[in-house]
Structures are given as structure tokens and as C-alpha cells.
């Protein structure tokens, strides 16, 4: 049934970006906001909606360091607001344990990182191969590596708790939250004016002056866009959660989050996927206590290391339900070979889907004056989601408000199937 009120903005997709957009929009005086998205399913294998989200997890790396200046800028803006979001919501999600980026000392990746560090004056500690080995003796790194260590304003966030915090703050500000899946968005005429009509799987109809789509990988799988698809690819990623004891977790209590791209140590397990140039690349979270009470080290590969891509809602659903056990096992063995003096008790697999855009940056743009899009995380958006949401919400309601040129995030489309 339809709701009588016409909202100023309806955000479709209640993940990290959508929830952030709803919070920022609902901060604006006199602005009515609605956020629609499903709750996390209790059983991944019996999920009637077929929707799985990247925030159904406890660990995502956050840091300012990045080879891309746009991602670095958005990350810094978001990180500055973490504490404020925690205070407004009463929900903690940020762990400031620091982040280490290590790579081949003379490689292109580290060169780009250093350029961004200098241009944006990001405070770090630079470490050569010998210093890396001394500071992180529990990791097997290459003698050819150099490191950039962010001790402050970096570490990891719980994406699950971040979404809860954003939604709690938005709700306090008057945002209406509907836990359902949107099936169709259309523009209709009401009382001589165009309004946006949002229809959910459960039969709810919401009318709004404007709609922001933040549905990620699912944007093309419902009737959300008017006759075209997004120019994006869906990359399936595999991670392993390696269980360690509480005692070993205590030993690693000062371990930072790690991003690595280099030659790798000779003793690393060989079946872990490499980049096309043969380099080893991974991201890794320090020990985190998960809801089952156990401590896990999470490690995954970069999306450039795999060739497979997903093309339908059915493929995405099957991927989340089954994943790639062989790759998860190789990743678990890789974690075991990466650490010195830490016993890996076993591992379990998990998986996610990364939305890739042609320029590795998100889409933050309007389809027309009443419909906008904020999607395309490219595997980097969790840390920056609050700023992406702020830019998108402001774009829809007030106009462009970012030092980053609007054309940077221009929407690119493909014809409908």
C-alpha cells in the first residue's frame, strides 16, 4: 500500500554508502528521508531475497594511504567523522590499530603511494626491508619490500556495526527505515508534477521527490534504471578467515591492517593467486573476535588476480552460497605460511562481490534531476563510504559539494539487455 507522505529523498540500498547518504540527508533541516534495504539474513543458504551485502562482516581496512589521490582524499574525510558517528549512534565500529602498506621498494605501486603521501601531507613512518622485519617479526616479507606505516587515523572498521551506527543516527534524525527489497523505481505524474515511485517486494509503495540508488551489485538486477545498465563488472572475491587462539591474538594485539603488493617471501604457499605480472598481492586484517567468540585473521586477494566475473543475479546468489572452497583452502594455507610463531588452528571461507567501474572510482551522478546513483566501490569504498554518501546526498538535495570535480564520478552506462 502507498504511504501518504511524499519524502524529499528515498535512498534505495541500506549498505555502507546508502546508510551514510541517509544519515547525511536527514541532517539537513526540514528534509524528510526514507531508507530502504533488507536486513542481514540469518541463513545465507536460505535467503529468499537473494541479497547479500559486503557489510555482513566484522573487518574492513581503513587508511588514508592510497596510490589514487581521490580515494585517499575521500578516506581522510570519512575517517575524520568516525568518532562523531560513534558518539551520535552510541555504536562503536572503529579500531585505530594502524595500517601497513608494503610493496616492492622500487615498484610503481609504492611510487604512486609516495606521491599521494607528499601531495596530501599524510603523516606516515617509512620503513625499509630491514626495518619492516624488525618491527613486524611475525610476518614473512620480502627483503625487497619497503613499507608505509600509518600509526594514527588508520586500522579497521566493522562494516556491520558501521551500517548499524549510520542507521541509528539517521533514525534519530527522523529518517524512516524500511527493511525490504526494492523491485521497481519509476517516475510518475501526481497532481500535475513528477514524483518518484518506489515499489518493494513486500508490497510497500513509497513516493519521493528524489531517489538515490545505492544498490551496488544489484542495481542492474531490478527495475531501478530507466532502460539502461551501468557500465560495471562484478568480480567474485574469496577470503579465508584463519582461526588463531586467544593467546596468539594477544601476542598480535599491536598488529596493524596490512596491504601488500610485492615479490613475496620464498616460503609463501604457491597456490595463492598472483597478479598478471607475477607479484603477490593481498589485504589482511589483524585478529578480530567474530560473533562466534573466536579470533580470526582475515586475508583476501586483489580483484586483478582473478579473471572470473559474474553476469546475473543467479550467478551472484550462487557465488555467495557456495564460493570457491579450493581457493579458500589455498588462502588458508597461504596465511599459515605467512606467519612466524603463530599457530593457525584452521580456517573457513567467505566471499564477496566487488563492483568494478572503468576508472576504478565510484559513480556519484544523476540520471535525471530526480534520480541519482552512488555505487561502484571497486573494493576500496568501505573506509570512504561516509564521504561517498555525503557527496551523493548533498548532490541530490543541494547541489555538488566537493573539492573533487563532479566529472570524476560521472556515470557510464550500457544498453539494456
pLDDT in tens, the chain (417 residues): 445 589 999 999 999 999 999 999 999 999 999 999 999 887 766 677 778 888 889 999 999 999 999 999 999 999 999 999 999 999 999 999 999 999 999 899 999 999 999 999 999 999 999 999 999 999 999 999 999 999 999 999 999 999 999 999 999 999 999 999 999 999 999 989 999 999 999 999 999 999 999 999 999 999 999 989 999 999 999 999 999 999 999 999 899 999 999 999 999 999 998 888 889 999 999 999 999 999 999 999 988 778 889 999 999 999 988 999 999 999 999 999 999 999 999 999 999 999 999 999 999 999 999 999 999 999 999 999 999 999 999 999 999 999 999 999 999 998 765
The reported pLDDT for the residue numbered 1 is: 42
Q: Which of 159, 110, 73 is nearest to 260 (CA)?
A: 110
Q: How far apart are CA 132 and CA 147, in angstroms?
A: 7
Mark whether 203 and 341 lie in a shared domain. Answer: no
pLDDT score at 111: 95
Residues 244 and 221 in one domain: no
Of 328, 356, 384, which one is at a domain's C-terminal end? 356
Same domain, 366 and 349: no
Q: Which of 308, 335, 356 is the last residue of a domain?
A: 356
Do 326 and 289 share a domain, yes or no? Answer: yes
Neighbours of 221 (CB within 10 A): 17
Residue 82 inside a domain? The answer is no
- Domain presence at residue 47: yes
Domain containing residue 405: CATH number: 3.50.50.60
Which set of grid coordinates corresponds to residue 240?
A: 579465508
Question: How far apart (Å, rounded) are the C-alpha atoms in residues 201 and 179?
Answer: 10
Q: Which three cell numbers stand for residue 297?
A: 585473521
- Domain match, 245 and 345 both: yes
User: Grid coordinates standing for 359?
Assistant: 576508472
Same domain, 243 and 215: no
Confirm whether 83 is domain-assigned.
Answer: no
Q: Say if residues 65 and 117 touch (Cβ distance below 8 Å).
A: yes
State which residues form the domain around 333: 99-151+233-356
What does the alpha-carbon distance between residue 151 and residue 140 come to, in Å, rounded to a whole number?
Answer: 20
In a domain, 30, yes or no: yes
* Residues 41 and 108 grouped into a single domain: no
Contact 21, 224 (CB under 8 A): no
Kindly compute the dihedral angle of the four CA atoms of residues 357, 361, 53, 289, in this order, to the nearest 10 degrees. 130
Does 197 lie in the same domain as 181?
Answer: yes
Same domain, 146 and 169: no
Q: Is residue 75 part of a domain?
A: no
* Last residue of one domain, picked from the residues 311, 328, 356: 356
Task: Find out whether 257 and 98 touch, Cβ atoms under 8 Å.
Answer: yes
- Give me the pLDDT at residue 4, please: 58
What's the number of CA atoms in the CB half-sphere (13 Å) around residue 209?
8
pTM (2 d.p.): 0.95
d(CA 205, CA 388) in angstroms, rounded, equals 27
Per DSSP, which regions of 214-345 are E strands?
A: 228-230, 233-244, 257-262, 280-284, 288-289, 295-300
The number of domains in the chain is: 2
Answer yes or no: is 417 within a domain. no
CATH of the domain at 256: 3.30.9.10
Give the pLDDT confidence score for residue 64 in this predicted structure. Answer: 96
- At residue 318, the 3 state secondary structure works out as helix
Cite the beta strand spans of 204-345 per DSSP E: 205-213, 228-230, 233-244, 257-262, 280-284, 288-289, 295-300
Let me know if 369 is exposed, middle or buried by CB neighbors in 10 A (0-12, 13-18, 19+). Answer: exposed
Query: What is the reported pLDDT for 41?
Result: 80
CA atoms within 13 A on the CB side of 132: 25
Same domain, 294 and 187: no
Q: Do 331 and 245 fall into the same domain?
A: yes
- 370 located within any domain: yes
Residues 340 and 375 reside in one and the same domain: no
Is 9 a member of any domain? yes
Amino acid at each position: 500500500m502507498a504511504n501518504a507522505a511524499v519524502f524529499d529523498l528515498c535512498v534505495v540500498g541500506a549498505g555502507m554508502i546508502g546508510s551514510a547518504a541517509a544519515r547525511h540527508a536527514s541532517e539537513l533541516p526540514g528534509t524528510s528521508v526514507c531508507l530502504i534495504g533488507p536486513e542481514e539474513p540469518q541463513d545465507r543458504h536460505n535467503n529468499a531475497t537473494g541479497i547479500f551485502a559486503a557489510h555482513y562482516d566484522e573487518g574492513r581496512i581503513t587508511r588514508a594511504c592510497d596510490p589514487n589521490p581521490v580515494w585517499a582524499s575521500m578516506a581522510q574525510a570519512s575517517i575524520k567523522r568516525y568518532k562523531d558517528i560513534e558518539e551520535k549512534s552510541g555504536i562503536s565500529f572503529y579500531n585505530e590499530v594502524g595500517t601497513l602498506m608494503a610493496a616492492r621498494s622500487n615498484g610503481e605501486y609504492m611510487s604512486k603511494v609516495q606521491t599521494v603521501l607528499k601531495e596530501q601531507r599524510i603523516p606516515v613512518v617509512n620503513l625499509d626491508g630491514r626495518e619492516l622485519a624488525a618491527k613486524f617479526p611475525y610476518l614473512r616479507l620480502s627483503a625487497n619490500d619497503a613499507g608505509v606505516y600509518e600509526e594514527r587515523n588508520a586500522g579497521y572498521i566493522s562494516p556491520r556495526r558501521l551500517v548499524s551506527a549510520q542507521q541509528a543516527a539517521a533514525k534519530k534524525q527522523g529518517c524512516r527505515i524500511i527493511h525490504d527489497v526494492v523491485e521497481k523505481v519509476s517516475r510518475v505524474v501526481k497532481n500535475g508534477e513528477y514524483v518518484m515511485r518506489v515499489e518493494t517486494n513486500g508490497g510497500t509503495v513509497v513516493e519521493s521527490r528524489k531517489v538515490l540508488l545505492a544498490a551496488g551489485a544489484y542495481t542492474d538486477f531490478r527495475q531501478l534504471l530507466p532502460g539502461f545498465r551501468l557500465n560495471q563488472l562484478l568480480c567474485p572475491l574469496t577470503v579465508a578467515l584463519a582461526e588463531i587462539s586467544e593467546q596468539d591474538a594477544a601476542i598480535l594485539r599491536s598488529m596493524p591492517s596490512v596491504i601488500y603488493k610485492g615479490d613475496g617471501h620464498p616460503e609463501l604457499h604457491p597456490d595463492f593467486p598472483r597478479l598478471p605480472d607475477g607479484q603477490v598481492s593481498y589485504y589482511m586484517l589483524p585478529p578480530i573476535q567474530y560473533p562466534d567468540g573466536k579470533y580470526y585473521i582475515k586475508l583476501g586477494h586483489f580483484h586483478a588476480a582473478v579473471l572470473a566475473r559474474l553476469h546475473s543475479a543467479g550467478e551472484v546468489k550462487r557465488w555467495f552460497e557456495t564460493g570457491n572452497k579450493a581457493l579458500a583452502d589455498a588462502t588458508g594455507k597461504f596465511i599459515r605460511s605467512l606467519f612466524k610463531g603463530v599457530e593457525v588452528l584452521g580456517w573457513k571461507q567467505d566471499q564477496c562481490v566487488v563492483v568494478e567501474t572503468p576508472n576504478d572510482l565510484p559513480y556519484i551522478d544523476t540520471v535525471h534531476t530526480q534520480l541519482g546513483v552512488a555505487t561502484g566501490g571497486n573494493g576500496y569504498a568501505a573506509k570512504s563510504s561516509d564521504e561517498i554518501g555525503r557527496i551523493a546526498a548533498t548532490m541530490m538535495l543541494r547541489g555538488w559539494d566537493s573539492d573533487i570535480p563532479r566529472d570524476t564520478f560521472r556515470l557510464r552506462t550500457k544498453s539494456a539487455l
